[in-house]
Amino acid sequence: MSPPLAGGRGVATWTAEGLSMFHSVQLFVDRARASLPDFRITSRNAAAVAELCDRLEGLPLAIELAAARASAMTPSQMLAHLGRRFEFLVSRKRGVAERHRTMRAAIDWSWRLLSPELQTFFARLSVFRGGWTAEAAEAVCDEPLALDHLAMLRECSLVQTDDRGSEMRFRMLETLREYGDEQLTSVERTLAQRRHWEFFLSLAEEAKPHLQGPDQLIWLDRLDAEHDNLRAALERLRDDPDGGDLGLRMCSTAMRFWHTRCNWTEGRTSLLAAIAHAGAQARTEARADALNLAGSFSMQLGDFTDARALCEQSLQIRRDLDNHAGIANSLNALSNIAVSLNDYATGRALLEEALPHSRDAGDRRVEARVLYSLGNTVSYQEDYEFAFRCLDASLSIHRSLGDTVEIARGLFGLGSSFAEQSKWPEAKEYLEEALGIQRDLGDAAGQAIALNWLATVFRNEGLLHRAEESLLESLTLGLRIGSRRVGLGTLENLVRLACAWSQYVRAARIYAAADDMSEAMGRSRQPNDRQIIEQLMAVMRLGMGDERLDQELQIGRAMTWEQAVAYALNSTND
């Protein structure tokens, strides 16, 4: 079987001119013209042709069979039929060799050349998604000779390899995967799928402690490579009547990965689905953990009402179980929600309740997280001496544990506290060190928040261009990860910078859009915030007058979140 001539991703962005450079697309055009002589790539069909070739994985026979239908179907119509690709990819020409008449016949021909052992192995490989290692194939396919079998399948072009990482990975074209799945009986498929989720649940649980230590970059990359398999395992556990608690366990182990990679929407969706599958009667620590994690993801997404309800459910279960570490974690999460809504008094009270629970639990990680949150909260209350003691103690614990993610957070906490005190050199030192670690980790949210605070430092040092660069990068990252909570802080900071640039129209529109967003998220203004806003409004009013200011504020309030971000990113607005 021939390898694909070309593959493609991100096809929606391809142009008609760019498409002609890809051999698979050119093959499609050539064969389509044999059926429809005036067929050509246009701006209207370019994306569909690109996606069609991409989903056919560049397989020459598949492309030829699809293109032969150009006289009766548009590329978009062909795409709609790919859900039943083996029935669709059929040639009606006479005089064609049987194994070239259909896609199924071509694969059948290769399949029949395999030994029975290889046929069974190949079929079982179809349960993987996105690729696999030899170790995974051995466990999931229940085959001690997996490495030898993979080498033979590769020689037949039935599997492909990718050696760009630290270990060789194997993958299968989707067309071949569908064919392999058809060869499994329902009993064989169920057994293979069970071995699949057992393997990846075990992998996720093995990864969990490493995601909080010096090897976390290695394990984050490993989970990145297995992301599609982790998703598939979770889906299969949700389909298993007995998979409720196991699904909760898997979600809990994947939490740190989702959080660091800012996959908050996926994390919350997966957690809520696992919680629902487990049933309300399951008042276990696994359920409490999942509820608390879902609440934390909801907070990151700006849904504070949902976040509080989920964390309160978690706290009640943990109180019933008398789980001190769990109680501390739930109180910490509820405090973070209160602080995000500028309710610092409630946030501090919750953390003061959490701290003795974290110490009773004897878990230094939990204690360090509570100390970090307490330090941040009292810093907002301008209790800076106590804040430094808490933040420094938290950072020391995480350094002793080698937890890179938490070390970056600790550095950020100290940097932002110094910025609150207008100690700009100290703030910049800590924030830049935190940002460097977060870039290495691929922590987009951490980078966005650190850049936002660095912009405050630069602005107060008179480095307005550096401040703008930092804010625009921060806003771009916030948009990429879909976090309105992160984006809101950046928009508010941009208002101050726009006023410093005398860009009063831009400042007014961004302020109004951010203010509406803040109100929709349930945030209340603190006295210091209101004083700053009054000062900014006075500057804008002086710059363009009352009537113009009111007009621009109305335009800003009419903007959606996406429109406000797009407007803010266009630094030429004035």
CATH number for 135? 1.10.10.10
Which residue type is seen at 105?
A
Q: Is residue 559 part of a domain?
A: yes
Q: Whose structure tokens read 């199924």?
A: 104
Question: Does the pLDDT of residue 199 top 80, yes or no?
Answer: yes
Q: What are 431-480's pLDDT values in tens digits?
A: 999 999 989 887 888 898 999 999 999 999 999 999 999 999 998 887 77
* Mean of the per-residue pLDDT values of the chain: 83
Last residue of a domain, one of 138, 157, 191: 191
Residues 380 and 304 in one domain: yes
CB atoms within 10 A of CB 215: 15
Phi, psi of 281 (to 5 degrees): -75, -15
Residues 413 and 521 in one domain: no
Q: Is residue 506 part of a domain?
A: yes
What gap in Å lies between CA 483 and CA 491, rounded to an integer? 12
Question: Does the pLDDT of residue 8 top 90, yes or no?
Answer: no
Question: Does the pLDDT of residue 92 top 80, yes or no?
Answer: no
What gap in Å lies between CA 459 and CA 353, rounded to an integer? 38
Nearest to 257 by CA among 249, 271, 265, 267: 267
Q: Is residue 5 part of a domain?
A: no
CB atoms within 10 A of CB 521: 16
What is the share, in percent, of the chain residues with pLDDT greater than 90? 40
Tell me, what's the pLDDT at 347? Answer: 96
Query: What single-letter DSSP state applies at residue 170?
Result: E
Residues 376 and 240 in one domain: yes
Q: Is residue 238 part of a domain?
A: yes
Residue 313 host element (H or E) = helix 304-321
Residues 123 and 153 in one domain: yes
Question: Does the pLDDT of residue 75 top 90, yes or no?
Answer: no
Up-side HSE of residue 110: CA atoms within 13 Å toward CB? 20
CB atoms within 10 A of CB 530: 11
Q: Is residue 322 part of a domain?
A: yes
Tell me, what's the pLDDT at 104? Answer: 67
Residues 321 and 389 in one domain: yes
Question: Which CATH number do you get for residue 411?
Answer: 1.25.40.10
What gap in Å lies between CA 67 and CA 73, rounded to an integer? 9
Residues 130 and 93 in one domain: no
Distance of CA 444 to the CA centre of its chain: 10
Q: pLDDT band for position 312 (50/70/90)? A: very high
Residues 289 and 391 in one domain: yes
Least confident residue range of 136-150, 193-207, 279-293: 279-293
Residues whose CB falls within 8 Å of the CB of residue 200, separated by 6 or more in sequence, listed in order: 226, 229, 230, 233, 250
Three-class DSSP labels, 244-306 = HHHHHHHHHHHHHHHHHCCCHHHHHHHHHHHHHHHCCCCCCHHHHHHHHHHHHHHHHCCCHHH
Render the burial of 44-56: b for 16+ CB within 10 Å, e for the rest. ebbbbbbbbbbbb
Residues 315 and 354 in one domain: yes
Q: What are 351-401's pLDDT values in tens digits?
A: 999 999 999 999 999 999 999 999 999 998 999 999 999 999 999 999 998
Residues 41 and 168 in one domain: no
Render the burial of 404-430: b for 16+ CB within 10 Å, e for the rest. bbbbbbbbbbbbbbbbbeeebeebbbb
Q: Is residue 170 part of a domain?
A: yes
Last residue of a domain, one of 102, 134, 168: 102
Residues 125 and 272 in one domain: no
Residues 471 and 541 in one domain: yes
What is the share, in percent, of the chain residues with pLDDT greater than 70? 85
Most confident region among 2-6, 14-18, 260-264 by mean pLDDT: 260-264
Question: Does the pLDDT of residue 526 top 60, yes or no?
Answer: no
What gap in Å lies between CA 414 and CA 427, rounded to an integer? 7
What gap in Å lies between CA 221 and CA 71, rounded to an integer? 46
Q: What are 492-522's pLDDT values in tens digits?
A: 888 988 888 899 999 999 989 888 877 776 6
β-sheet bridge partners, residue 170:
132, 161
Domain count, the chain: 4
Tell me, what's the pLDDT at 468? Answer: 92
Tell me, what's the pLDDT at 95? Answer: 42
What gap in Å lies between CA 58 and CA 53, rounded to an integer? 6
Question: Does the pLDDT of residue 194 top 50, yes or no?
Answer: yes
Q: What are 21-56's pLDDT values in tens digits?
A: 367 788 788 778 877 888 888 888 888 888 877 777
Q: pLDDT band for position 405 (50/70/90)? A: confident
Q: Whose structure tokens read 């906490």?
A: 413
Q: Is residue 183 part of a domain?
A: yes
Sign, CA torsion 339/345/348/349? negative
Range of the domain at 134: 108-191
Residues 135 and 90 in one domain: no
Tell me, what's the pLDDT at 377? Answer: 94
Which residue type is seen at 266?
E
Q: pLDDT band for position 259 (50/70/90)? A: confident
User: Is residue 384 a contact partner of residue 421, using CB atoms and an 8 Å limit?
Assistant: yes
Q: Is residue 154 part of a domain?
A: yes
What gap in Å lies between CA 153 and CA 119, rounded to an integer? 10
Least confident residue range of 214-218, 373-377, 519-523, 554-558: 519-523
Q: Per the confidence metrics, is the pTM higher than 0.85?
A: no
Query: What single-letter DSSP state applies at residue 83?
Result: G
